[in-house]
Amino acid sequence: MESQPSALRCGIGYDTHRLVAGRKLVLGGVEIPSPRGLLGHSDGDVLSHAIVDALLGAAGLGDMGRFFPDSDPRWKNAESRIFLETIRGLLAERKLEIVNIDSVVVLDEPKLAPYMNQIKESLATSLGIAAEGVNVKAKTSEGTQTDLAVAQAVVLLAQSEPRA
Ligand code: MG
């Protein structure tokens, strides 16, 4: 059998959104009680967006703006779960399976530890994988970025069948 240099594919994603009053705080599809939420054209789910970009990167499909431009009224206040589900379909069409996802959210307040399992479950459900395949780490900025949330993600995909 020929070697398959494309059998495993990694991707990286990054996103940031401003924290403002009067918005919901949604991370990984989970609404988290907070006096401030993330500003954005969609729901501002910085973690889901970083994961979407990492998955698109690993698949060689460009970036989130190509599929879900913020100039498109369809995505106004859209739940980012829809973006994850769309990517899930794109990966399936290409016989690409998610091996694992690792991610970091940088946010000072609120603390995410109580919601971490729920966030992982939510992401895994949207992507159709086991929760064990998703890791989310919470960090603070140590007070250096109190008005921002930042997320980074890396993913590994495996080609389940050789491409034609
Ligand atoms: Mg974003």
Query: The domain spanning residue 90 has which CATH number?
Result: 3.30.1330.50
Distance 50 CA to ligand 1 centre (A): 7
Residue 2 belongs to a domain: no
Distance 75 CA to ligand 1 centre (A): 12
Count of the separate structural domains present in the chain: 1
Distance 46 CA to ligand 1 centre (A): 5
Residue 33 belongs to a domain: yes
The token pair that represents 127 in the structure block: 């992507």
In this structure, are residues 27 and 115 in contact, taking their beta carbons and an 8 Å threshold?
A: yes
DSSP 156: E
| Structural domain for 128, as ranges | 7-159
> What is the pLDDT confidence band of residue 160, given thresholds at 50, 70 and 90?
confident
Distance 49 CA to ligand 1 centre (A): 5
Residue pLDDT, tens place only, 77-107: 889 999 999 999 999 999 999 999 999 999 9
Which among 61, 13, 18 has a CA at the least distance from the CA of 41?
Answer: 18
Residue 11 belongs to a domain: yes
Residue pLDDT, tens place only, 18-39: 999 999 999 999 999 999 999 9
Residue 164 belongs to a domain: no
At 145, is the secondary structure helix, strand, or coil? coil
Distance 162 CA to ligand 1 centre (A): 33
